[in-house]
Amino acid sequence: MELFGRKLTSEHLKGFVEVHTKDGQTTMPKEWALEIIKAYEEKQERDATEQWLNDINNPLEPIKVRSALESELIKLNYRKEHNPKSISELDITIIAVLAKELGCYKAEAME
């Protein structure tokens, strides 16, 4: 591999990583790559928060969340009766997240 016309060895590349981008592949210091990943994750979190804030003004959102929660509870109760071993941690996690989300909507409505 060459960088600025100089041949790079594996010793030169310690602390560097290969990064695949939409334009191809590039080599950069690991710190840069970690900063890019951190910035991307922060952007994703801001986007999710912004989406939630935009949706909270939509009166259908709490209805959708409540409906999804009811559906998950029906599935859970069915599995309890017919196949308890099929209940996974993911099922419980989904129910907990939906219940928490519904609580956020209720808290907003009370204010």
pTM of the model: 0.45
List pLDDT tens digits, range 12-50. 556 776 777 777 777 777 777 778 888 888 888 888 778
Residue-wise pLDDT tens digits, 55-79: 666 666 778 888 999 999 999 999 9
Three-state DSSP string of the chain:
CEECCEECCCCCCCCEEEEEECCEEEEEEHHHHHHHHHHHHHHHHHHHHHHHHHHHCCCHHHHHHHHHHHHHHHHHHHHHHHCHHHCCHHHHHHHHHHHHHHHHHHHHHHC
Q: Which two tokens stand for residue 76?
A: 């859970």
> Quick count: other Cβ atoms within 10 Å of Cβ 62?
18
Work out whether the CA dihedral 92, 96, 99, 105 comes out positive or negative.
negative
Query: Per the structure block, which two tokens stand in for 81?
Result: 């009766």
With a cut of 70, say whether residue 1 has pLDDT above it. no
Residue 110 pLDDT > 80:
no
